Amino acid sequence: TTRSGRASIPPELFMEQVYAVLDDSDAVEDYELQREAEDPIAFAATGSDPDTLHYNAAMKAHDSEDFKVAMIKEANDHTTRLHWALWEKQNVPAGHKILSAIWAFKRKRRIDTRAVYKHKARINVHGGQQTYGVNYWETFSPVVNWFSIRLTLVLSLVYQWKTRQIDFVLAFPQADVECELYMELPRGLIFEGCHRDTHCLKLLKNLYGQKQAGRVWHEYLVEGLIERHFKQSVVDNCVFYKGSTMLLVYVDDAIICGPSSKVIDEIIASLKEDYDVTDEGEIDDYLGVNVSCPTEDTIELRQPHLIQQILDEVGMLPQSKTKDKAASSSTILRRDLDGAPFREKWDYRRIIGKLKFLEKSTRPEIAYAVHQCARFANNTRESHANDVKYLCRYLLGTKDEGLILRPDPSKSFEVHVDCDFAGNWVKEDAMNDPSTAKSRTGYVTSYQGCPITWASKLQTEVVLSTTESEYVGLSESLRIAIVLMNLLKEMKEHGVELPTTKPTVYCKLFEDNAGAIHIAKSPKMRPRTRHINQKYHHFREWVKSGLIDILAIDTEEQPADLLTKPLSVASFVKHRKRVMGW
């Protein structure tokens, strides 16, 4: 709109150019989503949750009285622990903004029964009102990787280690505040002798909601662990060693694993000297995943509650017809620009976010289906929604299944990798969607026969042959395998007893393309392969030294096929049994 009030209509040619740019951004969005999916735990916080409420919703809820009790407890905990001090606003130094106080409410449920066992209220600082360089600087804080968690669980089975889960109560405020911060009095509470117009709170401890709160807490925890003679891993910054005992930390939830219950008890007692810690006993529910031990040599990871949440949101009824596989093998999902528009009541992006978290946590067999659907989150059509519902029908029939970890001590690291050369190629979409020319990599990295990490993703460059596609996938899969091998070596160096008949960790990588195997083993470059970027040769020294052995495997026996293309029911079930254990 101009200053005179006249509405300006952009030229038609200009708008065509704008739409062309938007179409291009849709085409490359799959790479943005792919990068986000590299950290599966982050997806746990995305999407709508009826049990997570803001202030007004909580006060109108049927269980509002329970939330009010939780509010009083939260305020009393902060006050008695001297996390803040009442402060007159007139005494706030010039230039210091008084930040808003935000309430967050949560109904905590049992993962298996979904029964509410706790009403939680948390006071947060409005971090969005902070100013960089004034009241915050660095914000990054690491969390433990899922591959470290799974590897530790497998080792606990193999060597009959003891495990314990601990929780740091009100973790962030256990650390001192990084700089001077002031916060408004929280809504719904009365502070005797004070009023919101004249008083505020000066923060003495690291309250939740700050941009740097996680980082400040992590540094405080690391400092305390080092004082207790823990040694921090250089492979995963949230793994700590103390002799043959390991501690894995995800913010305020931690797992202790080692050969002796007595040592674990001593560690917990030592932590309680300076930290407010609760002993949660054996691992049961961790990071939204139900952990169970149906037998002494088996651990099962399941998320039936998350699957049910997805099904309810999509509107899938219990009596709905189920599917025997995750994706239809009759068609390849495409952009479908001329197809019917998306008219579902559910939010496509939110469902995709939850499906990604499910896939990355406990359900690798749905990786291909989820990532194919995720490519079209920007410009969703009815055909894309139908594929999501197809996947949901499969989940409906397998809701109570999960990832079964049953170690085979005769095996070490194994990587099964496969690529689908230009498998998304659709002639009609080629001009509008360059990603149809890209190949898909799928791999499963396992230790002692148990899946530790996996991926199904488009390659970032266009390759010119099946051989090149397979070689690029081989390189990508070994990046994480080498990290895992280093982590295991590090465990041994720090005193974790890992008896083995071999002096070094040995990795087998199963590849079904002879050309890719030949390039990996031979440094000779030919006219058709010399253009391959140097970044894809990073693992050759490992192959040369014998630490990684690349072996051929029959295509029909390649379980990574599950992650690269839609399969028939027979092939899907066959590979699922090998990867999932059921």
**Percent with pLDDT over 70 in the chain:** 83
Enclosing H/E stretch for 492:
helix 466-493
- Terminal Cα-to-Cα distance of the chain (whole angstroms): 62
**Percent with pLDDT over 90 in the chain:** 59
Span of 7-21, 59-73, 200-214 with lowest mean pLDDT = 7-21
SS3 percent helix, strand, coil of the chain, rounded to 5, is 40, 20, 40
What distance in Å separates the CA atoms of residue 224 and residue 226, rounded to the nearest whole number?
5
What distance in Å separates the CA atoms of residue 445 and residue 450, rounded to the nearest whole number?
8
Strands 84-88 and 199-203, bridge-based pairing: antiparallel
Mean pLDDT over residues 511-538, rounded? 57
Model pLDDT for residues 312-344, shown as the tens digit of each residue = 999 999 999 999 999 998 778 888 888 899 999
Q: Is the dihedral of CA 532, 536, 541, 544 positive or negative?
A: negative
Burial (CB count within 10 angstroms: exposed 0-12, middle 13-18, buried 19+), residue 225: buried
Model pLDDT for residues 493-516, shown as the tens digit of each residue = 988 877 654 434 446 667 566 766
Based on C-alpha coordinates, what's the Rg of the chain?
A: 26
Give the chain's mean pLDDT. Answer: 85
Contact in structure between 383 and 333 (CB atoms under 8 Å)? yes
Give the per-residue pLDDT at 479. 85
pTM for the full model?
Answer: 0.84
Mean pLDDT over residues 60-79, rounded? 94
What distance in Å separates the CA atoms of residue 55 and residue 66, rounded to the nearest whole number?
13
Give the per-residue pLDDT at 13. 42
- In sequence order, which residues have a C-beta less than 8 Å from that of residue 76 and are 6 or more positions away? none
- Write out the two tokens for 326: 């995750």
Span of 1-10, 101-110, 252-261, 439-448 with lowest mean pLDDT = 1-10
Enclosing H/E stretch for 453:
strand 450-458
Q: Where are the beta strands (DSSP E) in 89-146?
A: 98-99, 101-109, 116-125
DSSP code at position 132: B
- Write out the two tokens for 376: 């079209």
**How many Cβ atoms are within 10 Å of 179's Cβ, its own excluded?**
14
Give the per-residue pLDDT at 437. 76
What distance in Å separates the CA atoms of residue 378 and residue 110, rounded to the nearest whole number?
35
Q: Residue written as tokens 């060693």?
A: 241
Span of 36-40, 184-188, 247-251, 536-540 with lowest mean pLDDT = 36-40
DSSP string, 539-579: THHHHHHTSEEEEE--GGG-GGGGGTS---HHHHHHHHHHH
DSSP string, 494-509: TT-----SSSS--EEE
Phi, psi for 421 (deg, rounded to 5): -65, 115
Q: Which of 279, 578, 66 is nearest to 74 (CA)?
A: 66
Give the per-residue pLDDT at 28. 40
Mean pLDDT over residues 438-454, rounded? 92
Which region holds residue 402: left if phi is over 0, alpha if psi is between -120 and 50, else beta? beta
Contact in structure between 448 and 154 (CB atoms under 8 Å)? yes
Model pLDDT for residues 416-436, shown as the tens digit of each residue = 988 888 777 766 666 666 667
Q: Is the pLDDT of residue 8 over 60?
A: no
Contact in structure between 242 and 216 (CB atoms under 8 Å)? no
Q: Is the pLDDT of residue 157 over 90?
A: yes
Q: How far is CA 296 from CA 255, 292, 451, in A?
A: 19, 10, 18
Cα angle 569-306-349, degrees, rounded to a multiple of 5: 85
Phi, psi for 339 (deg, rounded to 5): -80, 175
CB-based burial, 67-96: b 16+ in 10 Å, e otherwise: bbebbeebbeebeeeebbeebeeeeeeeee
Model pLDDT for residues 211-239, shown as the tens digit of each residue = 999 999 999 999 999 999 999 999 999 99
Q: Is the pLDDT of residue 107 over 90?
A: yes
Give the per-residue pLDDT at 45. 46
Q: Which of 390, 386, 389, 393 is nearest to 342 (CA)?
A: 386
Q: Residue written as tokens 């620009």?
A: 337
Model pLDDT for residues 467-502, shown as the tens digit of each residue = 788 878 888 888 888 899 999 999 999 888 776 544
Span of 143-152, 251-260, 347-356, 528-537 with lowest mean pLDDT = 528-537
Q: Which of 414, 324, 309 is nearest to 365 (CA)?
A: 324
Enclosing H/E stretch for 70:
helix 64-80
Contact in structure between 297 and 279 (CB atoms under 8 Å)? no
Q: Output 87-90 pairs: Cβ under 8 A, ≥24 positions apart.
A: 87/182, 87/199, 87/200, 87/201, 87/202, 88/198, 88/199, 88/200, 89/197, 89/198, 89/199, 89/200, 90/198
What distance in Å separates the CA atoms of residue 494 and residue 139, rounded to the nearest whole number?
30
- In sequence order, which residues have a C-beta less than 8 Å from that of residue 285 and are 6 or more positions away? 110, 111, 291
Contact in structure between 394 and 366 (CB atoms under 8 Å)? yes
What distance in Å separates the CA atoms of residue 144 and residue 240, rounded to the nearest whole number?
10
Span of 93-97, 293-297, 511-515 with lowest mean pLDDT = 511-515
Q: Is the pLDDT of residue 298 over 90?
A: yes
What distance in Å separates the CA atoms of residue 539 and residue 483, rounded to the nearest whole number?
12
Contact in structure between 303 and 358 (CB atoms under 8 Å)? yes
Strands 98-99 and 182-183, bridge-based pairing: parallel
